[in-house]
């Protein structure tokens, strides 16, 4: 402490101006607001021609998303415009807005530098979960749609238990209670948690409704529109709920929200994180999108203070075959779906999410649902103007080597319950850094009508969580015939304490008081079953040698598992900072 006091007293307050100007430049993508092809393409020609130093590490995408809920027919059984049947907390998104991106590829000056890898958001969610701190959740979490799901608030409801009042939260693994409920601890064999606070925190970041009350009721307070009108909300591009329309025998009801999400470039890929300030860089960025439609059959109960509604996911459509970003809230009393259907009847609801301001789902089109107010994906990057003295020093070595990581993805599907596995992942990759295995319940054995957890609208799987209690035993990673782990891991604490904790965190968990990520051993043993192994420790001469990768272990679960495997490997390019060309 004394040294800090002395240093602070001795230092000069004057700081040199390295840059004399900073401007933010925004460019639109090439889609003209049409994303029905499930793709978004952005080229940086406008930025490369600006003759300014661009800092892509600081840049971000603004991704507008239109979330829509509608019914299959014109009936009076869906009335979202009625306050008592509001849908404002009925739908949520899985963790992180980047989950809408299935894969990304980048061409730099005509050469591919980032390979298109499916399920890329699974890897990126793992990176965020092991990198961010709890303070980050408060500051940047609402901007990027990030708040982890509670790891122990899940419920397991197999098909054998289907029935009104039983599958109120859906089928299979569900973790969608967004109403705070105190856990019951007065009896034996009770659940650990009930409320998924992460789901609620993500919802309140975007579901602002100008018609909502600022207080507990309209009799005691004015609506938000008394301070900020819906027109003003649209002008400033604030995420909000659009005016809903209730269904009649002649009108198909619908509810919509325009979400304006932010995805930081450095969270999308490590290449952007490693990129230095440079001029003239021309890139073509292609993103495949998880535009999704979900069918949910809801059985309503006559409205009452204790009403509840059962739910069954009966289908989904997503051309990329990736993660379903949509989650339905629980239909248990006081939860988001509890009073959406006002009468004791069965209604087929369609939830959809599309990038942009337009909904292409057939039923929403039939309902004449209007467009939102944000049309295009936007790339935002800051430009810097150097102080000439510092620019000269910066360009003393204009050719820089950029070392970054890319990923290879592989799936081992249908690993049998209580069975062993010895799976070859790849015959050869050079520069291997790490191996990550994410276990999910197999789609073949999944209880929700044979729908994968990644596609379930009741399970947050794919937004950071794996399937709960998907524990592996005798786990090891084999690199070119050599075990990466000296003794195959048998116990959960071994994987967490020996391999996982501190990875991607500040100082690798070697110092207390700094961020070691958001995953605790409790989380790991419940819903964040990350099997991660660092395998980059080797002699420098070995880094360029292609090596095979295999994983071995035992599935100790009572259900089959699908293993999603990611191999991280090092890549490097040389870039001219002044021209933006590869060297």
Check whether 524 has a pLDDT greater than 80: yes
Strands 101-108 and 111-114: antiparallel
What pLDDT is attached to residue 307?
Answer: 76
CB distance 256 to 88 below 8 Å? no
Q: How confident is the model over 287-302, as a mean pLDDT?
A: 91
What pLDDT is attached to residue 330?
Answer: 95
pTM higher than 0.75, yes or no?
yes
Higher pLDDT, 404 or 162: 404
Check whether 303 has a pLDDT greater than 90: no
Residue 88 CA from chain centroid, whole number: 20
Question: Taking the domains of the chain in order of start, what are their residue ranges?
Answer: 399-576
pLDDT digits (tens, 9 = 90+) for 428-470: 999 999 999 999 999 876 655 678 899 999 999 999 999 999 9
Check whether 305 has a pLDDT greater than 80: no
- Can you tell me whether residue 530 is helix, strand or coil? coil
What pLDDT is attached to residue 518?
Answer: 94
Neighbours of 580 (CB within 10 A): 19
Of the listed ranges 37-41, 164-168, 202-206, 368-372, the least confidently predicted one is 164-168
pLDDT digits (tens, 9 = 90+) for 102-154: 999 999 988 999 999 999 999 999 999 999 999 999 999 999 999 999 999 99
Mean pLDDT of the chain: 91
Assigned fold of 399-576: Jelly Rolls (2.60.120)
Q: How confident is the model over 173-182, as a mean pLDDT?
A: 92
Closest CA to 143 of 40, 35, 225, 61: 61
First to last CA, the chain: 48
Check whether 302 has a pLDDT greater than 80: no
What pLDDT is attached to residue 450?
Answer: 72
pLDDT digits (tens, 9 = 90+) for 52-68: 999 999 999 999 999 99
In angstroms, the Cα distances linking 388 to 16, 280, 393, 394, 530 are 12, 18, 9, 10, 48
Tokens linked to 253: 């009801």
């Amino acid at each position: 402490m004394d040294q800090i006091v002395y240093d602070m007293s001795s230092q000069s307050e004057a700081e040199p101006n390295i840059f004399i100007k900073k401007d933010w430049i925004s460019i639109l993508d090439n889609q003209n607001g049409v994303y029905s092809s499930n793709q978004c393409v952005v080229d940086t020609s406008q930025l490369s021609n600006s003759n300014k130093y661009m800092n892509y590490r600081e840049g971000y995408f603004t991704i507008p998303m239109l979330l829509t809920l509608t019914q299959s027919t014109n009936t009076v059984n869906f009335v979202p415009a009625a306050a008592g049947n509001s849908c404002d907390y009925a739908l949520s998104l899985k963790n992180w807005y980047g989950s809408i991106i299935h894969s990304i590829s980048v061409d730099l000056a005509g050469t591919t530098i980032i390979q298109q890898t499916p399920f890329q958001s699974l890897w990126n969610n793992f990176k965020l979960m092991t990198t961010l701190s709890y303070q980050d959740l408060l500051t940047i979490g609402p901007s990027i749609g990030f708040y982890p799901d509670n790891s122990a608030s899940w419920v397991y409801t197999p098909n054998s238990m289907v029935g009104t009042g039983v599958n109120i939260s859906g089928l299979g693994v569900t973790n969608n209670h967004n109403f705070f409920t105190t856990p019951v601890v007065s009896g034996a064999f009770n659940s650990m948690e009930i409320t998924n606070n992460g789901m609620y925190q993500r919802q309140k970041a975007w579901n602002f409704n100008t018609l909502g009350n600022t207080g507990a009721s309209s009799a005691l307070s004015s609506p938000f529109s008394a301070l900020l009108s819906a027109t003003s909300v649209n002008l400033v591009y604030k995420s909000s709920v659009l005016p809903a329309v209730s269904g009649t025998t002649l009108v198909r009801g619908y509810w919509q929200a325009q979400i304006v999400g932010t995805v930081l470039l450095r969270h999308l890929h490590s290449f952007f994180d490693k990129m230095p300030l440079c001029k003239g860089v021309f890139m073509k960025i292609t993103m495949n999108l998880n535009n999704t439609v979900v069918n949910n059959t809801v059985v309503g109960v006559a409205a009452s203070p204790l009403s509840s509604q059962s739910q069954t996911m009966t289908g989904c459509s997503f051309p990329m075959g990736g993660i379903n970003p949509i989650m339905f809230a629980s239909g248990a009393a006081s939860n988001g779906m509890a009073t959406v259907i006002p009468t004791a009847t069965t209604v087929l609801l369609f939830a959809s999410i599309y990038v942009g301001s337009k909904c292409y789902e057939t039923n929403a089109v039939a309902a004449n649902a209007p467009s939102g107010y944000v049309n295009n994906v936007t790339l935002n990057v800051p430009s810097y103007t150097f102080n000439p003295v510092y620019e000269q020093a910066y360009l003393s070595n204009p050719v820089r080597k950029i070392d970054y990581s890319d990923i290879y993805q592989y799936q081992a599907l249908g690993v049998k319950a209580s069975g062993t596995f010895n799976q070859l992942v790849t015959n050869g990759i050079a520069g291997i850094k790490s191996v990550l295995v994410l276990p999910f319940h197999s789609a073949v054995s999944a209880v929700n009508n044979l729908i994968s957890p990644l596609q379930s609208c009741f399970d947050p799987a794919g937004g950071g969580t794996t399937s709960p209690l998907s524990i592996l035993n005798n786990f090891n990673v084999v690199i070119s015939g050599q075990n990466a782990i000296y003794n195959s891991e048998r116990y959960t604490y071994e994987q967490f304490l020996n391999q996982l904790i501190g990875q991607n965190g500040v100082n690798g968990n070697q110092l207390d008081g700094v961020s070691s990520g958001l995953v605790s051993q409790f989380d790991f043993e419940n819903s964040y079953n990350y099997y991660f192994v660092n395998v980059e420790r080797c002699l420098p001469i070995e880094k360029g040698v292609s090596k095979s990768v295999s994983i071995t272990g035992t599935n100790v679960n009572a259900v089959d598992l699908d293993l999603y495997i990611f191999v991280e490997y090092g890549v490097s390019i040389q870039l001219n900072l002044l021209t933006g060309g590869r060297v």
